[in-house]
């Protein structure tokens, strides 16, 4: 349950990094 929320959060952060051109 909590892991799913964390996964969503990580995905959201990763998407933001992509927008800012953050190195994957």
Q: Tens digit of pLDDT for each residue in 1-24?
A: 678 888 888 888 877 777 777 665
CB atoms within 10 A of CB 1: 5
pTM: 0.34
Give pLDDT, residue 23: 60
What are the tokens at 6?
């964390």
Q: What is the pLDDT of residue 21?
A: 75
Helix, strand, coil share of the chain (percent; to 5): 80, 0, 20
Cβ proximity of 17 and 24 under 8 Å: yes
Please enumerate in sequence order all residues whose Cβ is within 8 A of that of 18, keeping only pairs 6 or more positions apart, or say none: 24
Q: Cα 5 vs. chain centroid, distance in angstroms?
A: 11
Q: What is the pLDDT of residue 22?
A: 65
């Amino acid at each position: 349950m909590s892991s799913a929320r964390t996964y969503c959060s990580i995905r959201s952060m990763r998407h933001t990094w992509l927008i800012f051109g953050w190195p994957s």
